[in-house]
A and B are shown apart, each in its own frame.
Chain A
């Protein structure tokens, strides 16, 4: 369980990134922070592994104030996936995945063997292990990023726009893969994105942020779509866009959903 207790972050120049933010992320759930750039969502994520320390307020993991823990040890116990993978370009794929266990003192051989298993787990062939990250496609790199984050078997996964840099089809595959993994592993996932569709697909709970990480609305995707709290949320989630406003028609005994432009988008079963 991750708890933000009235955290704020003001940078040295006087810029406020986060103002008085509180949130509880229950264990084994996926919570997605969604907001445009400047909403402080990445800052919030980085507070959990102490890449950023809040100016005021506290972050607790399983009830313990993390400001009292050693930052390095804390980070090794939390999986982190970042945009464009953030893989070490001078290490092979296998060594990238084996990094955290080796930092924790696991032998190189053991860590590599475990890494092979993890590659398979995220849908990559073991043969890719010997390659360097730049010899992989963007989607493959992201899968390696996920495997690396899982390597030390952390309870918590932090994901910072992990699928932002790949094309829509691959992004969809990666999202499905994450849902499948999450169903198997049941990690506590805090996920940051600016993509509302991604948030709705992945989240048990969506938190819509405006500037300075002020919570505009939180809840399940369906609740937010059905009852946007205000115009900001309505515009942000596109609840009034033609793609979201569907009507139904009866065609040959089936109910067809049609968007506002009249294009059929699906069938109700």
Chain B
């Protein structure tokens, strides 16, 4: 507590750095993983291997991955992009399978009806498939967000600022309170960002919330509906 009282001014800056490292990676992961997931869903033949390889990326230990990025890109270890690339690799690895599942969960009947009404290929995607995939996508993005926030702490090992610095510094200097602060602050940040993604998902899908409430209250008599219910 004494440590916290003397050093609390440091924390907002570290949180800001942590967020600055997390957000671009989260956004990039979504932008990259969703099209891959959609492709994997549409073209089953290449979809299986693509999903397999993408998921395997998550198994690469973080330090070797960061070193590989340094070697391959020539970026400096302190560059924000080094960390962003590494986090995006993990983010994409986590999200592709859920993305493919999200599109698979869209009722084929509804997709066909949209095509039959005369939606073009792109408008079926933007107006029907993507909005209907959002509930499952959001669940995947929430997991990926939490994972990203915790992985950012590894950046401290290569000299990146963020809440991870509290862990390495506290550990080296033997200050338990500093380490505890780092752990708790990281967890809190993860919970907050997770909550924000959840709220954004709710706002994007007002229909799903109403359907959810309805199926919950009527569970006893409800007929089974699509996988989204």
A binding-site residues for B, Cβ under 8 Å = 46, 49, 51, 72-77, 80, 82-91, 99-100, 103, 132, 134-135, 148, 158
Contacts and interface: CB of A to CB of B under 8 A. Distances in A.
Contacts, number: 69
Given A132-B207, A135-B214, A88 B113 contact: yes
A90 to B, nearest CB: 5
Contacts of B118: 72-77, 100, 103
A5 B210 CA distance: 48
B117 A99 contact: yes
A237 to B, nearest CB: 29
Interface stretch (B1-9, B39-47, B78-86, B104-112): B104-112
Chief secondary structure at chain A's binding surface: mixed
Contact size class for B? 20 to 34
A135 B120 CA distance: 28
Contacts of A88: 110, 113-114, 128
Given A75-B118, A132-B211, A134-B214, A89 B113 contact: no
B131 interface: yes
A83 B116 CA distance: 13
A100 B110 contact: no
A42 to B, nearest CB: 10
Given A88-B128, A90-B132, A99-B117, 12 more contacts: A51-B112, A51-B115, A51-B116, A72-B120, A82-B109, A84-B109, A87-B113, A91-B207, A103-B119, A132-B207, A132-B211, A134-B211
A23 B208 CA distance: 44
Contacts of A86: 109-110, 112-113, 116
B219 interface: no
